[in-house]
């Protein structure tokens, strides 16, 4: 395997071949996706993402009242951002009544209403943008628990973690990568094999889930662990649970007035994906990788893997997941 190096002075990861200095920490690399991936402290990242993450870990200043929305990519990040934004901001941005037509979710992409800590890449876009956000901040991350900036854990910042059935994740990931790949195209077979091998962006997916799962058992008041499929089955119940965890529970009057149902409706795939702000336009939210706003909205169907994976592939991934999660109490 080729190696990449972390530059001591800048704390920036340098892909192999671009820098002479190899005296520092080095990471295995793997080809197959649209660019080289590096195994950065147990997590597969692009060199750019690893550079950003190392900077965020060193320099991001969390606040005790920060709330972090943590997801493995393609597990419902956009949905969780929309729901959490709507729930926490409902006194200033009501979802029912005369002002509901001015709601920010009608004119802003959910990805832009809850900023990510590691993207846009922080060596290209300063972290100070996050410092300018007033408290309490709602932030997001795709980082596995072990790679969170240590102060986030020390301060006990609350984390909402959302995961999803891995077979649906690999299918969603494959569609997304090919859609935003700018000419890059990978067969499903190849993407699947990398994923099953643990080599997927921010993966392995099982380590990602397990890190937050274990923390949610140890500290249920700090980490709320949610599953996409369960949320799809009972969105209103989960919105109430989310509001309680975020310390803004719904009052009986609000429930009677239909506020919970309206949050669910406003943040539904059908509603959000039909809005012009989400169905048109191209934005670069990562750093050098413009993507269509619509690429975050595809089908939103539980079990869509059945339309893409063979029975053999499904059994293979199920077996790997069962083995990796064995004894943890977490199942899909």
Of 34 and 269, nearer to ligand PAP (C-beta) is: 269
Distance CA 219, CA 139 (A): 20
Active site residue 142: yes
Nearest to 241, CA basis, from 95, 92, 65, 80: 80
Binding region for ligand PAP (CB under 6 A) out of 121-129, 168-176, 211-219, 306-314: 168-176
298 binds ligand PAP (CB under 6 A): yes
Q: Are strands 67-71 and 138-141 parallel, antiparallel or unpaired?
A: parallel
Does residue number 293 form part of the binding site for ligand PAP (CB under 6 A)? no
Sequence-separated contacts (24+) of 6-11 with Cβ below 8 Å: 6/54, 11/54, 11/55, 11/58
For residue 277, give the DSSP letter.
H
Which of these segments, 35-43, 189-197, 298-306, 324-332, binds ligand PAP (CB under 6 A)?
A: 298-306
Helix 311-325 to helix 166-180 angle (10° resolution) is 120
**Applying CB under 6 A, which of residues 5, 48, 54, 71 lies at the interface with ligand PAP?**
71
Q: Select from 5, 54, 77, 216 the one that contacts ligand PAP (CB under 6 A).
A: 77
Count of residues that interact with ligand PAP, criterion CB under 6 A: 22
Binding of ligand PAP at residue 297 (CB under 6 A)? yes
Choosing from 175, 208, 227, 238, the residue that interacts with ligand PAP (CB under 6 A) is 175
Contact 28, 1 (CB under 8 A): yes
Minimum CB separation from ligand PAP for residue 116, in Å? 8
Using the rule CB under 6 A, which residue among 52, 141, 172, 200 binds ligand PAP?
172
- Return the residue of 54, 78, 200, 293 that touches ligand PAP, per CB under 6 A: 78
Query: Smallest gap, in angstroms, from Cβ of residue 69 to ligand PAP?
Result: 10
Q: Which is nearer to ligand PAP, 32 or 73 (CB)?
A: 73
264-283: contacts with ligand PAP (CB under 6 A): 267-269, 272
Q: Would you count residue 38 as binding ligand PAP (CB under 6 A)?
A: no
Give the CA dihedral 144, 141, 59, 130, nearest 10 degrees: -170
And the tokens for 63? 């606040």
Q: Does 75 participate in binding ligand PAP (rule CB under 6 A)?
A: yes
C-alpha dist (Å) from residue 67 to 86, 135, 153, 309: 14, 10, 12, 36
Q: Which of 109, 123, 142, 175 is catalytic?
A: 142
Q: Minimal distance in Å, beta carbon 54 to ligand PAP?
A: 21
Helix (H) or strand (E) run with residue 14 in it: strand 12-14
Antiparallel, parallel or unpaired: β 43-45 and 37-40: antiparallel
Q: Which is nearer to ligand PAP, 41 or 301 (CB)?
A: 301
Q: Is 304 in the site for ligand PAP (CB under 6 A)?
A: yes
Using CB under 6 A, which of the segments 67-75, 93-101, 122-130, 180-188 binds ligand PAP? 67-75
Rounded to the nearest angstrom, the gap between the alpha carbon of residue 298 and the centroid of all alpha carbons in its chain is: 16
Please give the full DSSP string across 169-206, using - where no structure is assigned.
HHHHHHHHHHHHSTT----HHHHHHHHHTT-STT--HH
Catalytic residues: 142
Residues that bind ligand PAP (CB under 6 A): 71, 73-79, 82, 168, 172, 175, 267-269, 272, 296-300, 304
């Amino acid at each position: 395997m080729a190696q990449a190096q972390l530059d001591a002075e800048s704390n920036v990861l340098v892909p192999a071949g671009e820098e002479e200095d190899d005296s520092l920490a080095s990471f295995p690399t793997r080809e197959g996706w649209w660019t080289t991936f590096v195994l950065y402290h147990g997590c597969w990242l692009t060199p750019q993402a690893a550079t950003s993450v190392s900077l965020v870990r060193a320099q991001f200043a969390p606040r005790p009242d920060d709330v972090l929305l943590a997801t493995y990519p393609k597990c419902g990040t956009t949905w969780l951002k929309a729901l959490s934004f709507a729930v926490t901001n409902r006194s200033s941005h009501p979802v029912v009544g005369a002002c509901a037509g001015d709601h920010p979710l009608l004119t802003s992409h959910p990805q832009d209403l809850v900023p990510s800590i590691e993207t846009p890449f922080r060596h290209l876009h300063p972290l100070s943008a996050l410092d300018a956000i007033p408290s309490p901040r709602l932030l997001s991350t795709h980082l596995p628990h072990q790679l969170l900036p240590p102060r986030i854990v020390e301060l006990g910042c609350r984390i909402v973690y959302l995961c999803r059935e891995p077979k649906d994740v690999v299918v969603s990931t494959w569609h997304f990568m090919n859609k935003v790949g700018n000419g890059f195209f990978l067969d499903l077979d190849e993407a699947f094999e990398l994923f099953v091998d643990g080599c997927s962006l921010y993966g392995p997916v099982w380590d990602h889930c397990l890190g937050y799962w274990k923390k949610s058992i140890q500290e249920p008041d700090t980490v709320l662990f949610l599953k996409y499929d369960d949320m799809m089955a009972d969105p209103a119940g989960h919105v109430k649970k989310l509001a309680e965890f975020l310390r803004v529970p719904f009052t009986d009057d609000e429930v009677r007035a239909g506020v919970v149902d309206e949050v669910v409706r406003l943040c539904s795939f059908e509603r959000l994906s039909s809005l012009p702000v989400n169905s048109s336009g191209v934005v670069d939210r990562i750093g050098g990788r413009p993507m269509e706003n619509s690429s975050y909205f595809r089908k939103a169907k539980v079990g869509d893997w059945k339309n893409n994976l063979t029975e053999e592939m499904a059994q293979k991934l199920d077996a790997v997941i069962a083995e990796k999660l064995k004894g943890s109490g977490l199942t899909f």
